[in-house]
Structure 1
Amino acid sequence: MGVELIHAGLTHPGFYSVVAELDGRIVGSNFLDERSSVVGVGPLTIDPAVQNRGAGRRLMQDVMDRAAEQGAPGIRLLQSGYHTRSFSLYASLGFAFRETVACMQGPAISRAVTGHTVREATEADLAPCNELCRRVHGFDRGGEVADALGHGTARVVEHEGRITGYATDLAFFAHAVAETTTGLQALIASAPAFGGPGILVPARNSPLVQWGLANGLRVVQLMSLMTIGLYNEPAGAYLPSILY
């Protein structure tokens, strides 16, 4: 999975990538997802042999400079809760903690949610998905939705004849947005599996966390959502990706 992730970041035109070199060899790398107006950092990787020698800070400063050059209104990332050194690095660079996110994994729930219909998304759904994201977050993530449509992983949920939520996939590297927690439940319950380490659920959405636990999911790690610049309190329910 790590090789696939790095390969995607290096070959996708929507990602900026940078490496750190020491004595002629690569000792670290970082990426910036530029598919939306708000950009996402990561993954940041450092050779364990050279940790705590400034490479991580240099790599972070590089992508932050890139975001400023591109005029991005905001930068976001998710940080592993156990890793106090990376939290300290990001905080010292100006990132603000926003909320704790629970990574949840388990067997497919495979059931319908009354009154909500989940189906595969089509190209015609791109505009309503973007409009929904703008209402919830204040900006859209259309580049990611377009990629998910191309890969055949995007889904929408309909309630009372209109789209009330979407997911680019139910996976670690995917995000979802819905008007209500019930809409997210319908998307999650329809997934045949949860890709990678699992889905990312804002821990303050207690009804969704409790529902997931009651349906066989478990919390496998906690993460911190951190931001610089534009940030609006979500006006709806959502699942971030590992980038944000």
Structure 2
Amino acid sequence: MSVSEKSEVIVRIARPDDSAVCGPICYAAFCAINAAHNFPCDFPSEEHCTKLLSRIFENSGIYSVVAEIDGRVVGSNALDERSIICGVGPITVDPTIQNRGVGRKLMQVAIERAQQRGAAGIRLVQAAFHNRSFSLYASLGFDVREPLSCMQGHALSQSIPGRTVRNATPADAQACNTLAYRLHGYARELELSTGIERGLARVVESNGHITGYTSHLGFLGHTVAESNLDLQALIAGAESLAGPGILVPSRNTELVRWCLNQGLRVVQPMTLMSMGLYSEPEGAWLPSVLF
């Protein structure tokens, strides 16, 4: 169904069943821009995107919206509200609908929502090769904070001397959140608890104390650690790196070189951007694709 050039872009709250339309749009949008720059698609299939967006649209801690033109869904966006810092994404627009301001309107709605709720800041991660998205985010007020290297590879199945890695339990949550507060200035309790409930979260210990954790070692999880050694232990002990891979801060050259020496490869460059409160993280860390 075609849309009129003069029709208004309408943004509304997403419903779980919108994922059936938004999933294929998400897949097509990411595949189109990545292929245009000779990078692999971030997602393996339309079905994967549909399931992902279905979980996002159903999550009460995430504010999800869709854009419509003449009653046709042409894009979607999500704002993760599970922390005092909100994360934006994934934002996608139907590749056949260009230069209609859909992406800008989806972003403006997310920013207004975060500001209305008194969020301390907003963050996102964008593909560094995507000039259009970078220009949009910069024009809306987002600042570049960290260049990232998305890295992927085979499971290392190694251990780091002096470090013990194990599955996280609910009893570990307080220590993990305290660590996040100390190193980053805020905690991400709900994301961590979800990772623990799903059996994805892991902790690293040194001398019987938790020195790092990951909510999920991959594209959708974040990791906080006291040192590169603690972070290396989490990576080395992972069964796999979920999704397109892990997001390694490119300025942490020690960690980047270690990953490369372990056989991990750089899949694509990305950029962490923020609006509002941003404190330079201490220790060693990996952001999720949200932040």
Q: TM-score, normalised by structure 1?
A: 0.99
Cα offset for 1:164?
A: 0.3
Cα offset for 1:230?
A: 0.7
Give unmatched runs, 5+ long, in structure 2.
Answer: 1-47
How well do the aligned residues superpose, as a CA RMSD in angstroms?
0.7
Cα offset for 1:23?
A: 1.2
2:282 maps to amino acid: A
Aligned-partner Cα distance in 2 for 1:161–1:150: 23
Cα offset for 1:52?
A: 2.0
Structure ranking higher on relative contact order (CA contacts 8 Å, 6+ apart) = 1
Structure 1 match to 2:252: 205
Greater than 3 Å deviation, 4+ residue runs: none
Cα offset for 1:34?
A: 0.8
Question: Does 1:163 find its partner at 2:210?
Answer: yes
Question: Does 1:17 find its partner at 2:56?
Answer: no
Structure 2 match to 1:75: 122
Question: Does 1:35 find its partner at 2:82?
Answer: yes
Aligned-partner Cα distance in 1 for 2:198–2:224: 18
Aligned-partner Cα distance in 2 for 1:232–1:57: 26
Cα offset for 1:107?
A: 0.4
Question: Does 1:95 find its partner at 2:142?
Answer: yes
Matches within 5 A, 1:56-67: 56-67=103-114
Cα offset for 1:177?
A: 0.2
Aligned-partner Cα distance in 2 for 1:65–1:80: 23
Aligned-partner Cα distance in 2 for 1:70–1:143: 17
Structure 1 match to 2:219: 172
Structure 1 match to 2:52: 5
Cα offset for 1:161?
A: 1.4
1:33 maps to amino acid: D
Aligned-partner Cα distance in 2 for 1:141–1:12: 16
Q: 1:126 aligns with which of 169, 173, 179?
A: 173
Cα offset for 1:4?
A: 2.0
Q: TM-score, normalised by structure 2?
A: 0.83
Give unmatched runs, 5+ long, in structure 1.
Answer: none
Aligned-partner Cα distance in 1 for 2:238–2:98: 39
Aligned length: 244
Structure 2 match to 1:190: 237
Structure 1 match to 2:21: none
% identical equivalent positions: 57
Structure 2 match to 1:154: 201
